[in-house]
Structure 1
């Protein structure tokens, strides 16, 4: 029983699978060689992250595949319904990386507020000769306490981020598919757990104008269009700060650049890009954008949880 973890899997996941009698191969196979390799090696399971796509042509060409796993939340790189119609089990790990993604979002909030992402780049080259100039440049930071954070997509990740934001005194607005009241646990050292209740809304346009910060945690629209475009930017308050740690293309990149030029957006943080793995240079080099290379779920803890969760699902599929 051979499993190809084409985009890798944690040592915890490998250990669990091998203990259950599976052979796990982690050597990455290029996309154009994937069908040939799966058929030649008789893989019954394929595990992917973001780098590998699993489309109809691969599914049709590999009848030996019985399990497709996505290490992470979104499965837009897999033709999920088609695979399931062919009797293939398709699973993801929606809970395993929520904490890690939320923590990167929280780090980005702090970084955007104090421009540390840019200061870290400028200080090594200019700090010695122009210390006062840089001090003046970065002395217009803002505090997070008391500011309003709009979280677009109030699932596991959005709720985890809300817990952090509420804990430091931010106001939180949640956007979800249905209006609901959600309890957010906040752990306070020496006090214990405090429960805050957030009533979400479904109308993004109604709340765009009150947000000081916006964090995206949704996929693209069903029609493939961006969620935030020029129309949405026009409804935001001047000087808003926005983050996308969800999927590339959720924010229309041309419209973001225009909003930065006009001052509508003070700064942005991007962990995902429309043209991965070759993002636009004008985004990467922009002085008002804090960029990271799609590392939201890339912590050792999250990878361990992802690996063991996938292993459990594979074992349940083939051993029951």
Structure 2
């Protein structure tokens, strides 16, 4: 039974969802890093929110950890590169709190535009200062939005309802997607800043977005702009925002996030034209339940079924996709395993060729499986998560190629070619009856072989008597031949054989086979 630790405060429904699926759960929020480090080796998975900081040393200590689940969107509290190197999947729950955060964005924009917190405080004191809180109307103004992903798209929808025009800066969406959202795309920030009346940001905090809203940006904006940040502290340069608010360049701001959290003190707190909330983007009962249940179900599905959803360091595969992909993943595993055990030298290039129907499927999971199975015989600690990183670290070029129609006569075929310092090997496989893996070509020589059990590979020059000698050596060693598959291109040319054997082949037998005249290479592949 897989075991999962919930190390942050989370809805009790997360624990219930894990247990209902047959996962053992420990709920232990508030552990110190030292306490966490001491118990992590006992767990297959961990569910966190923002309080737990999974640093490199903690992930390294979690020797059995397979999955990290973040109940929410931001994962800046997880060392993803270390997790990837250790083969740990990192997944989040990007949809559960999207509506809640979008609603808070609108609330902060309206509260800032109409001075609602300050007016509330004044009215509570009985001052009735009607002329002291002159606000701004949003209807008909231009909302500038940076980032139109899960949350950003919902924010757009809500501000369009306020009859605002929306201008978006997002290099990762197409013109068609922008049209579908009802926004105008701005190609550069230099063109973006002068046009907006209200700014909201909805991107992760990464080096490219840190202080993307800075003093130079404020200088280019209209006087009287309103700034809202419900994404991540650090996207907006707080020192520059402070000066812009004091000078009147920025009319007002609404901030839910800060560069340093918890924000016990901040120069911005001195200003009356800023609305603050303590990182409440996901803080509604509905959102807390949604993200907790979502991440619990995702963790359970991965540990029990191998289904990957909303992963940040591996291609995600839904349960429905997995049904279609699974036979091809099995085929990719067999092909990668075969080449990995045949190879003897450093690999420079790996090409995965998708032919026919398989070309229409999600290719990344299949490529990852090829890399995983191919590299495993040569390197320890390789898995589906870190295989692409390990290949990249070793300077291996990985290429995907697509051929919509197979030129080998199959409705679907998968080919893998590896290039080393001194040679190139290629293997092609297909699915028999749509589910059973078969090798159908090796080094461009047609053959049909079943990749299972122990498979003896023999490369030779086509010559009379060779099959008999090979069979005799195996028979004398009491090794039973289950299947003997032969392939050649022309009489007297290069030939190959794949021999399914029922027993392992000892080293001395391999040496005898290699010494047979006209035999070029003999290898044993174990599946």
Alignment of 1:43-58 (within 5 A): 43-58=43-58
Aligned to 2:67: 67
Distance in 1 (alpha carbons) for counterparts of 2:118 and 2:131: 13
State the Cα distance separating 1:32 from its structure 2 match.
Answer: 4.0
State the Cα distance separating 1:103 from its structure 2 match.
Answer: 0.3
**Which of 1 and 2 has higher RCO (CA within 8 Å, sep 6+)?**
1
Distance in 2 (alpha carbons) for counterparts of 1:168 and 1:209: 21
Q: Contact conserved, 1:5 with 1:25, CA < 8 A, in 2?
A: yes
Aligned to 1:269: 254
Q: Contact conserved, 1:5 with 1:26, CA < 8 A, in 2?
A: yes
- Aligned pair count? 303
Aligned to 1:215: 200
Cα distance change, pair 279–251 in 1 and its aligned pair in 2 (3 A)? farther
Residue by residue over 1:41-77, the C-alpha shift from the partner in whole angstroms, topping out at 9 and shown as x without a partner, is x222222222221121111112122211111112222
Residue by residue over 1:106-156, the C-alpha shift from the partner in whole angstroms, topping out at 9 and shown as x without a partner, is 1111111110021122322x32xx32xx22101x11211101100111111
Alignment of 1:123-272 (within 5 A): 123-124=123-124, 126-127=125-126, 130-131=127-128, 134-138=129-133, 140-181=134-175, 197-222=182-207, 225-272=210-257
Distance in 1 (alpha carbons) for counterparts of 2:90 and 2:266: 35
Q: Does 1:30 align with 2:32?
A: yes
Distance in 1 (alpha carbons) for counterparts of 2:253 and 2:144: 14
Distance in 1 (alpha carbons) for counterparts of 2:63 and 2:121: 50
Q: Does 1:83 align with 2:83?
A: yes
Cα distance change, pair 248–3 in 1 and its aligned pair in 2 (3 A)? same
Q: Contact conserved, 2:156 with 2:181, CA < 8 A, in 1?
A: no
Is the radius of gyration larger for structure 1 or structure 2?
Answer: 2
Cα distance change, pair 182–81 in 1 and its aligned pair in 2 (3 A)? farther
Distance in 1 (alpha carbons) for counterparts of 2:11 and 2:34: 25
Displacement over 6 Å in runs of 4+: none
Distance in 2 (alpha carbons) for counterparts of 1:285 and 1:69: 38
Residue by residue over 1:235-291, the C-alpha shift from the partner in whole angstroms, topping out at 9 and shown as x without a partner, is 110010001111111111111100011111011111011110134332234211100
Aligned to 2:99: 99
2:267 to 268, 282, 291: 282
TM-score under structure 2 length normalisation? 0.55
Distance in 2 (alpha carbons) for counterparts of 1:184 and 1:210: 17
Aligned to 2:18: 17
Residue by residue over 1:275-314, the C-alpha shift from the partner in whole angstroms, topping out at 9 and shown as x without a partner, is 1013433223421110000010111121122112112211
Mind listing any 5+ residue stretches in structure 1 that lack a counterpart? 186-194
Q: Contact conserved, 1:179 with 1:201, CA < 8 A, in 2?
A: no
Alignment of 1:286-297 (within 5 A): 286-297=271-282
Q: Contact conserved, 1:178 with 1:202, CA < 8 A, in 2?
A: no
Q: Contact conserved, 1:9 with 1:26, CA < 8 A, in 2?
A: no
Q: Contact conserved, 2:253 with 2:274, CA < 8 A, in 1?
A: yes
Distance in 1 (alpha carbons) for counterparts of 2:9 and 2:27: 9
Cα distance change, pair 45–178 in 1 and its aligned pair in 2 (3 A)? closer
Cα distance change, pair 27–51 in 1 and its aligned pair in 2 (3 A)? closer
Distance in 2 (alpha carbons) for counterparts of 1:221 and 1:238: 28
Q: Contact conserved, 1:181 with 1:198, CA < 8 A, in 2?
A: no
More strand by share: 2
Distance in 2 (alpha carbons) for counterparts of 1:52 and 1:12: 19
Supply the RMSD in Å over aligned alpha carbons. 2.0
Q: Which moved more, 1:247-256 or 1:16-25?
A: 16-25
Distance in 2 (alpha carbons) for counterparts of 1:43 and 1:16: 17
